[in-house]
Structure 1
C-alpha cells in the first residue's frame, strides 16, 4: 500500500509563490510507485486540494482529511513545503501535533523560535567558534524612537529586516543615516511578519548556505556548503529568484579546516535548537578573521531545482527523490504516538 502524503504549500505571505514552485518540484521527485501525493494549498481563506478533474475539495480541519466523491482520504504524513506563516512559524506543526499527524519539519516550538531571528541569535551565540553580529531587536512600541535606538547602539553599515520574515522580503542594507527611517518602515510594514524588526551591523566577508538533515536511521548528515556571490547590494529577493543576478558555487571552495569547523558548528546549531528534518543555516566567513558569523536558520528551505538544498543533495551524490524519501520515513518513524 502506498504512503499517503499531504504536500503542504501556499501560505499567508509573499513567499507563497516560492512555496508553490518548491512543492511542484518535490512532487515531481517523489517515487509514484511508493507515495500517493496530495498537494494541499493553505491560504488565509481556505485549505483545499484540487483533483485531477479540477474540482476543489476543502480539507476537513477536524482531522485533516478529504472527502472525494464519498471516499475519505486520510494521510500518513504531512510534507511541509510552506515558506513563511503558517508553515514555518510553528502554527501548522502545533495543529498536526494535536491531531496526531506526523510531519517532516521541526516541531512547533523550534519552528516558532527559529522564525524569530533575534531570539534564535540569543540561543546560539555561545556555540563554540560561532559568532553573531551586534544587533538590536525592535518591537512595535519602539517604532517612533527606532532610528535613535539604532544609532545609539550600532555602527553603519547595517542590515534592517523583519524579525520573522523570509526570502529577504522587507530587508534593506543601510549605508547612510538618512536612509534608516525608510528601511525601518519597510521592515515594520512587511506583511505577516509580526511588526518586529532586527537591525544588525554589517559583516564583510563571503556568504554561505549549508543544509543538514536527520535521515531515517537517525544520523545527522551535513550537506556540502554553497557559496553565494551576487551582483546585487546583498542577497535580496531579486538576487534569490531572478536568474543571472547571483552565482552559486556548490560545493563551496573552503579549506579542510573551514569545512570541518562549519560542519561542527552546524551540527551544534541543529542540536541546540532541537531541529528535525532538514534545515539550512546561512552564515558569513568574515574577511581577515576567518570567523563564521551566524545569519539565520531556515527550517523550511526552498526546494526548486535551483535551490540550495537540492544543489547540495546532488553535490553529495544523492538523488533528490531519495533525499525526500529519507525525510518522509524519518518523520513517520520518529513521530510520537498519542495516548488515548
Structure 2
C-alpha cells in the first residue's frame, strides 16, 4: 500500500487555510488504497502529526520520519500548501531532488504561475488577454499620476506573489493609491497594479483526469463586497454559482483559454484560473496551482458538478503523480 504524506501549513499568510484544506484531503483519501499521514511544514518545525496530535519530527535530509519505532518513507506527497514554500516551486524542486513523487506541477511551472507578472507575460503571446498593468518593485521611483494615466481608476493594487487576496486593494481615487501600495508591500516586495475590468468573474478548474486534460464546470463569482476579497472567499460574503450563468459561446471561449494556458505551460495536477469576461471576451487574472481543497472550495465544487467525488478527485491526483 502506497504511503502518502499530505503536506499542509507553509510559511505565508495562508498557512491556516492550508491546514484546513490539508485535513479535509487527509479525511477523504481512500484508506483502502493508501496509507495517509498528515505532515505540517511550518516555519519553526516540520512534523508528522498522528491522530492523537502527537508530533514526530521530519528528517529534512530525505523527508523521512522515525515513526512507531521504524523509519517511515513516503511514496507520494500530496501538496496542499498554499503560498510559499508549497506553491512557489521550492518544495517541488526539493522533492524532485529527493526523487519523491508529488501531486502538484513541477518547480518551474509553480514558480512561474506564483509570479502573476511573469505568468501573464508568458501567456500574452499565445493570445490570452490580460488587463493593462503597471509593475513596481520596492524602492522604485514613481508618481501616482503616471499610474493613473496608464490604468485609469478604479484599479487594483496586488502583491505579485500572494494568494487568498491578502494585500489586495481596489483603488477608487488618487488618495487611496499610496496606502494601497504600502499594504501590498507588506505581503511582497514586488507589486502588480492592474486596470479595472468590468464584467463577469469566473473561476475555471483544469485537471488531468485519467490521462486527459479536462475543463471542469465553471464557477461564477458574485461578491457582496467590492471585489472577491478574503471575506468574500472565506467568510461567506459571496455567491459561487456552478455552473456559471454564461452562454455556450462564451463558455467555449473561456474553456479554450484555460485549457490552452494549462497545456502551454505543460502543467500537471490541479489548476484554477480566474477570468473576467468583458464584452464576451475572457481576460485572465491569475492561475492557482494549489487551490483550496475543503468541501466548500471552488475546485471540489466543480469536480462534484462534473460527477467526480472528492475521494475520486484525490485518488486521481495521487495516481497521476
| TM category, shorter | over 0.9
2:35 matched residue in structure 1: 36
Structure 2 residue matching 1:27: 3-state secondary structure: helix
Q: TM-score, normalised by structure 1?
A: 0.92
Structure 1 residue matching 2:36: 3-state secondary structure: strand
Query: In structure 1, what is the Cα distance between the partners aligned to 2:209 and 2:99?
Result: 21
2:160 matched residue in structure 1: 163
2:276 matched residue in structure 1: 284
Query: In structure 2, what is the Cα distance between the partners aligned to 1:304 and 1:158?
Result: 31
2:214 matched residue in structure 1: 221
1:338 matched residue in structure 2: none
2:309 matched residue in structure 1: 319
Give unpaired runs (5+ residues) of structure 2.
none
Measured after TM superposition, the shift of residue 215 of structure 1 is 2.4
Query: In structure 1, what is the Cα distance between the partners aligned to 2:314 and 2:67?
Result: 27
Q: How does 1:6-85 map to 2 (within 5 A)?
A: 6-85=5-84
Query: In structure 1, what is the Cα distance between the partners aligned to 2:44 and 2:12?
Result: 13
Q: Is the contact between residue 77 and residue 328 of structure 1 (CA under 8 Å) also seen in structure 2?
A: yes
Aligned residues: 321
Displaced runs of 4 or more, over 4 A: none
Query: In structure 2, what is the Cα distance between the partners aligned to 1:96 and 1:150?
Result: 41
Query: In structure 1, what is the Cα distance between the partners aligned to 2:285 and 2:166?
Result: 15
Q: TM-score, normalised by structure 2?
A: 0.97
Give unpaired runs (5+ residues) of structure 1.
332-340
Structure 2 residue matching 1:167: 3-state secondary structure: coil
Q: Is the contact between residue 138 and residue 146 of structure 1 (CA under 8 Å) also seen in structure 2?
A: no
Greater strand content: 2
Measured after TM superposition, the shift of residue 148 of structure 1 is 4.8
2:134 matched residue in structure 1: 136
Query: In structure 2, what is the Cα distance between the partners aligned to 1:188 and 1:152?
Result: 22
Q: Deviations over 1:142-166 (max 9, x none)?
A: 1x53635423432111000100010
Measured after TM superposition, the shift of residue 141 of structure 1 is 2.8
Query: In structure 2, what is the Cα distance between the partners aligned to 1:183 and 1:19?
Result: 26
Q: Deviations over 1:230-283 (max 9, x none)?
A: 11000001110002x111100111211122222211111001122111100100
Query: In structure 2, what is the Cα distance between the partners aligned to 1:23 and 1:46?
Result: 17
Q: Deviations over 1:156-203 (max 9, x none)?
A: 11000100010000000001001000000000112xx3x100000000
1:5 matched residue in structure 2: 4
